[in-house]
Amino acid sequence: MASAVKDSRSGYGPLLRTPGAWTFLLPGFLARQPFAMLTIGIVLLVESTTGSYGTAGAVSAATGVSMALFAPQSGKLADRFGQHAVLIPGVLVHVAGVAALITLALAHAPLWALFAVAVPTGASTPQVGPMVRARWAARLGGSPLMPTAAAFESVTDEFTFVVGPVLATALCTGIHPAAGLVAEAALTLAGGLLFAAQRRSQPAVHRTQAGDRPRVSALSVPGVRVLIVAFLGIGAVFGGMQVSLTAFTQHIGQPGINGVLYGIFAGGNMLAGIACGALAWKVGPRRRLLVAYGLLALATTPLWAVTAVPLLGAVGLVVGLCIAPALITGYTLVESLVPAAARTEAFTWLTGAVALGQATAATSAGQLADGFGPSTGFLVPLAGTALALTVLLTLRAHLLPRSSAGAADAPAHGADDRAPAVSDDRERELARA
């Protein structure tokens, strides 16, 4: 995608030697594992009790939409009151919601009841990934290791999406349709409470004092809004692939390979993420994002026409390889676009955008699969990425960091709210972008 060189300041070794990193990395990994199991677990459970992919996708979408809408509010509260104060009640509400959803689905409750429970279940999903990213940003500031941290988090996310769907599918098809969600709830409870207990590594709380300027919302930053659209398109790939692969493997009578195919797709994402974090790019992040997104849209083009399982796995691998560079660069850019007091909120907006795109795509792909055949659901990732790429190209000027877009002349919001100072190397990178 772009030329890269090794740099002594980049790489996973220096990153993982950051003091205190492992105190939040290990519990954070456990706590985010259920995130990859939730939507596929809902799809498999509801489809087994209703016989409809459209209904299963709609219930999963309700969870994803509520997650997307409430995640930024969770991030804003975490910035203001601390991650521990937000995580504890969120974990407990989420586990209760999953238990209620399982009970209603197995009792063949009406669709409105499933929707009513799906909303609080999604809204209370612990936003562990954004919280870990906020901890990295607080530890590293303007360090050249920030892109490596973004890559590391992307790899961690994708590793969960390799393991999570395979585990959920195996539990649902091999033990019981509800077993995937039972495991999701148990991991959320154990991992979420353990991560919440790591209070020393959480970012400083930014409370507004009397006489301070009003708190800046991450959503008020134009570049964040552009990245939200980009992440909606990435979510469309995840959601469209999940439902379409499930429908396709059911159609050909091999439901057990669904998790394997999705694991190949997520594995490609993980491998590309590892490579991105190990390299120091010569090309600026804005240009990398545009190139990576163009390749992603191109890679999704043949999905709907593929009918052979090995070829579908190969195309899915290529799609996965194209996602990581776009995802990592987006998270790297947002850290330089917003003040420190809004970082967790900004990260949750992006995570929420992925969830919303995933939910919308799951619904659309499910309807297409029910009405026109399983392969038509693969048109959803293509449509989502093509629309998002158009927006990115049109509004790419908003993706310049604040220090390069006149933010230095804007009123300050206090020492804790200013972005890290931009190094000479960073300035040269921005110029190349």
pLDDT at residue 4, as a whole number: 40
Contacts of 178 (CB under 8 A, 6+ apart): 45, 102, 105, 106, 172
pLDDT band at 252 (very low <50, low <70, confident <90, very high): confident
pLDDT at residue 339, as a whole number: 72
Task: Return the SS3 of 10.
Answer: coil
Q: Measured between alpha carbons, how far is 329 from 396 in angstroms, rounded to an integer?
A: 13
Residues facing 281 on adjacent strands: 4
Q: What sections of 175-308 are H helices per DSSP?
A: 179-196, 222-251, 258-278, 285-299
Q: Measured between alpha carbons, how far is 185 from 164 in angstroms, rounded to an integer?
A: 13
pLDDT at residue 403, as a whole number: 54
Is the residue at 73 inside a domain?
Answer: yes
280 phi and psi angles, rounded to 5 deg: -105, 115
Find how far residue 257's CA is from the centre of its chain: 24
Residues facing 5 on adjacent strands: 280
Is the residue at 26 inside a domain?
Answer: yes
Most confidently predicted of 64-68, 209-213, 297-301, 352-356: 297-301
User: How many domains does the chain contain in total?
Assistant: 1
Task: Answer whether residue 384 shows pLDDT above 80.
Answer: yes
Task: Answer whether residue 43 shows pLDDT above 70.
Answer: yes
Task: Return the SS3 of 423.
Answer: coil
Which residue range forms the structural domain that includes residue 158?
Answer: 21-202+218-408+421-432
Q: Measured between alpha carbons, how far is 46 from 55 in angstroms, rounded to an integer?
A: 7
Task: Return the SS3 of 307.
Answer: coil
Q: Are the C-beta atoms of 91 and 126 separated by less than 8 Å?
A: yes
Is the residue at 145 inside a domain?
Answer: yes
What's the pTM?
Answer: 0.70
Helices 343-372 and 53-81: crossing angle in degrees, nearest 10, is 180
pLDDT band at 391 (very low <50, low <70, confident <90, very high): very high
Structure tokens at 329: 């660069």
Written as one letter, the residue type at 223 is: G
**Residue 26: other Cβ atoms inside 10 A:** 14
String of DSSP letters for 78-127: HHHH-HHHHHHHHHHHHHHHHHHHHHHHHTT--HHHHHHHHHHHHHT---
Structure tokens at 231: 């992440």
Is the residue at 13 inside a domain?
Answer: no
Q: Measured between alpha carbons, how far is 47 from 264 in angstroms, rounded to an integer?
A: 23
User: What average pLDDT does the segment 27-33 reach?
Assistant: 82
Closest CA to 135 of 25, 9, 11: 25
Q: What is the dihedral of CA 254, 258, 259, 262, to 10 degrees?
A: 150
Is the residue at 10 inside a domain?
Answer: no
- From 144-153, 192-201, 221-230, the region with the lowest mean pLDDT: 144-153
Is the residue at 415 inside a domain?
Answer: no
pLDDT in tens, 59-92: 887 887 788 788 788 877 887 788 888 888 989 9
Is the residue at 4 inside a domain?
Answer: no
pLDDT in tens, 289-344: 889 899 999 999 988 887 778 888 888 899 988 988 888 888 878 777 877 677 77
> Cα dist. 273→5, 81, 314, 372 in Å?
16, 32, 18, 35
Residues facing 1 on adjacent strands: none
Q: Measured between alpha carbons, how far is 343 from 335 in angstroms, rounded to an integer?
A: 7
Written as one letter, the residue type at 373 is: G
CATH code of residue 122: 1.20.1250.20
Task: Return the SS3 of 280.
Answer: strand
First-last CA distance in the chain: 14
Structure tokens at 354: 């992925």
Q: Measured between alpha carbons, how far is 412 from 34 in angstroms, rounded to an integer?
A: 40
Q: What are the contacts of 308-316 at 24+ separation with CB within 8 A? A: 309/252, 309/254, 309/257, 309/261, 312/245, 312/248, 312/261, 313/260, 313/261, 313/264, 316/241, 316/245, 316/261, 316/262, 316/264, 316/265, 316/268
